[in-house]
Structures are given as C-alpha cells and as structure tokens.
C-alpha cells in the first residue's frame, strides 16, 4: 500500500488533495487512511492468517480490509466493493490503495468459504481489543446478549441459512439466525463474539425431542441458549472487567439464569408477566400482580415512573429441582412513552 499523507486536516465527505509521491490524489475518503492505521495497529492481517482466512493467493489485507471498508465508501455488495477498489475507481485514493485488485467473484468465494473459522477470527480480534489501553473494558460496563434475524430471501444455497420469520416484516423465508455478544460503556462499543444457530441433522430426525429445562452437552444439539452460554464462558475466560449482562425477555429461561448465577454474572433482563415470584414478606404472585400493586415514583431524568422490591423468582413446573433465584425486581411505567404512541395509552405497569 502506498503511504499518502494529508495536505490538511480531513473531514469525511469533503474532497481534499492527498499527496502520494508528490502527486495529488483527489479523494472523498481520506479518512480511510486512519481506519487503515487502526487495522495495522490491531495486527488484523496476522489474525486473519492465523485463522486460515485467505483465498486464491490474495493477500489477507486486500480482501479483508476492503470488505470491511466497503460500507464506509458506499459499497454494500461484492461487486460494488471490487469496483470501488479497482484501478478504474473514480476515487483516486481507492484506486491506489492496493497493488492487487481482486474481482467480485474472488470476494464472493472468499466470504462464502465454509472452511474459514470466522468465530475464531472474531474472538481473537476481541481478545486483542480487551488488552489494549484504549479499548480495555471497565467494571461498570455491560455485556449485551441478543439474537438477530438477517433475511436472505434469495440465497437459499448459502451456508447456515434457516427458515425464519423476520420480526420486523413478518415475512418467512431463508435467513441467518445469529446470536451476538457485545460490550458497551459510555465511551465505546465492542463486538465480542457471535454464533450461527441452525438445526442439525440430528434435530431434524423424526421424533427428536430434547430435554426441557436443561442445558445440552451434545454438540449436535445446541439451542440459542446453549450457544450463548458457550460465548459467555469464553468471554469470562478472557478476564473481561465487567460482570453485568443485559438481555431481553426471551433469554429469561430459568435454567439459563441459574447458569449465569454459577458464572458469577449479574444479569439485567425482562421477565415474563406470568412468572411466579415470592416476595421477602412471603407473598407469592405473578410478576404482573406485584407490578400493579407496587408503589411507583417519578424518575424525571428518564421520564418514567419506577419502583422496586426484592424477592425470589420461582422455578417453573417443569424444573422443580432448581432452587428459587434471588433477584431485585424493578417495575417501570411509561418506559416507551417517547418511542411509540401506543405506550402513551398504556397505564398498566410493566416489569
């Protein structure tokens, strides 16, 4: 890669001259040089080679960096990325950034190769970030666990696809079901790890039924909860500074919460309204019953009313061998008032 230098301070989407061997290159993507410096600082090319992520003799830095930088230069497809970083690119800096210029077919094969261990690559990058002063985690930060459906309606032959419903549109078709684990604090967000969730041949066999309310030790039978648990065990092994984990109500499965307790994690999540709770005064009721009876106080900074009580989350009927879980239950009203008009008409508290 040539070593261009700025003629003056660069701001994104402004065209400024950048000099390379005394020749002015006019570009609107000069900020990409700073991204490239961060790429080299993190030694991402070495991490790619460690994970065996190379294709067709092309340098790891060409395929990896240009694919990562695609959205930053307005390229959202393999073909667009190949064109943006080609010798005929309309932007002089992008044309001169690399000595080799793979075609779009090479990019496609590079990303679709099932032999590449993207899990190892992503986690190695995260482990590198966790050791650096600028990206080190802090005790008051939070890990975030969530799943996302990425639709691929016209790509039925791609790896890891499953038939899923898009929660945004309601459409059902081929999509990726991905479990994501990230970290956030007031200064930064770090992606930590991810897993694809896809049913195996064993799960698709007629009459197959997994044990309810139990983690699976079978690598061929891994639900999203099992995959999330493996990610959390890995991240704790990295000596991450925080022990806070945030998630939505889907993850509040009783056995999973017990596993989080065993890992020493403090979880913050939504609980279903029909779950049974025993308060410290001995009263037993559902989450919604106690939410309706709890005194709430205004929180002006958030524009909500809130209250809290201590108690125990009781096990479901199918999981009586695990003890109740101690927890602090926070009741919030008007949490989504500013987000949706429907919430303005809702007067019932939610937990």
What's the burial of 306, exposed, middle or buried (CB within 10 Å: 0-12/13-18/19+)? middle
175 band by pLDDT with thresholds 50, 70 and 90: confident
Per the listing, tokens 């989080």 go with: 260
Mean per-residue pLDDT over the chain, rounded: 82
273-282 in b/e burial notation, b at 16+ Cβ within 10 A? eebbbeeeee
Express each pLDDT in 127-165 by its tens digit.
Answer: 988 988 888 999 999 999 999 888 877 766 666 677 778
Per-position DSSP letters for 274-325, written without gaps between them: T-EEEETTS-EEEHHHHHHHS--EEETTTTEEEEEEEEEEPPPTT-TTSPPE
Whether the Cβ atoms of residue 343 and residue 336 lie closer than 8 Å to each other: yes
* Residue 260: strand, helix, or coil: helix
Contacts for 281 with CB less than 8 Å, ≥ 6 apart: none
Which residues are registered as beta bridge partners of 144?
182, 246
pLDDT value at residue 297: 92
Express each pLDDT in 69-114 by its tens digit.
Answer: 898 888 888 889 999 888 888 888 888 888 888 888 888 777 776 6
Kindly compute the dihedral angle of the four CA atoms of residues 156, 159, 164, 167, in this order, to the nearest 10 degrees. Answer: -110
Least confident of 13-22, 75-84, 169-178, 274-283: 13-22
* pLDDT average, residue stretch 5-11: 41
Q: Is the pLDDT of residue 19 over 70?
A: no
48 band by pLDDT with thresholds 50, 70 and 90: confident
Residue 197 backbone dihedrals phi, psi, to 5 degrees: -110, 120
Q: What percent of the chain has pLDDT over 90?
A: 34
Whether the Cβ atoms of residue 78 and residue 104 lie closer than 8 Å to each other: yes
Whether the Cβ atoms of residue 252 and residue 270 lie closer than 8 Å to each other: yes
Cα–Cα distances in angstroms (integers) from residue 287 to residues 250, 266, 293, 334, 351, in the given order: 15, 20, 10, 17, 7
- Separation of alpha carbons 244 and 11, rounded Å: 37
């Amino acid at each position: 890669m040539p070593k261009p230098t700025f003629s003056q301070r660069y701001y994104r989407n402004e065209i400024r001259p950048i000099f390379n061997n005394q020749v002015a290159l006019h570009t609107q993507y000069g900020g990409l040089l700073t991204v490239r410096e961060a790429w080299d600082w993190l030694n991402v090319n070495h991490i790619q080679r460690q994970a065996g992520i190379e294709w067709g003799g092309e340098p790891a830095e060409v395929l990896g960096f240009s694919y990562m930088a695609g959205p930053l230069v307005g390229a959202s497809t393999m073909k667009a990325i190949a064109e943006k970083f080609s010798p005929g690119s309309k932007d002089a800096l992008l044309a001169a950034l690399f000595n080799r210029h793979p075609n779009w077919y090479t990019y496609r094969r590079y990303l679709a190769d099932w032999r590449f261990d993207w899990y190892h690559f992503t986690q190695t990058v995260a482990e590198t970030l966790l050791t650096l002063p600028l990206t080190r985690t802090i005790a008051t930060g939070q890990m975030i666990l969530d799943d996302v459906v990425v639709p691929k309606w016209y790509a039925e032959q791609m790896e890891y696809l499953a038939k899923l419903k898009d929660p945004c549109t309601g459409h059902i078709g081929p999509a990726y079901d991905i479990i994501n684990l990230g970290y956030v604090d007031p200064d930064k967000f770090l992606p930590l790890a991810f897993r694809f969730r896809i049913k195996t041949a064993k799960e698709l066999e007629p009459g197959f039924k997994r044990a309810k309310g139990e983690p699976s030790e079978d690598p061929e039978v891994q639900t999203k909860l099992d995959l999330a648990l493996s990610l959390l065990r890995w991240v704790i092994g990295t000596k991450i500074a925080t022990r806070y984990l945030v998630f939505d109500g889907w993850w509040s499965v009783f056995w999973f919460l017990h596993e989080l307790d065993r890992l020493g994690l403090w979880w913050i999540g939504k609980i279903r309204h029909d779950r049974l709770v025993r308060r410290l005064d001995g009263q037993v009721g559902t989450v919604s019953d106690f939410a309706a009876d709890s005194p709430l106080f205004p929180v002006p900074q958030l524009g909500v009313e809130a209250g809290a009580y201590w108690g125990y989350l009781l096990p479901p009927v199918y999981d009586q061998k695990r003890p109740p879980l101690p927890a602090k239950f926070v009741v919030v009203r008007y949490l989504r008032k500013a987000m949706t008009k429907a919430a303005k008409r809702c007067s019932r508290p939610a937990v």
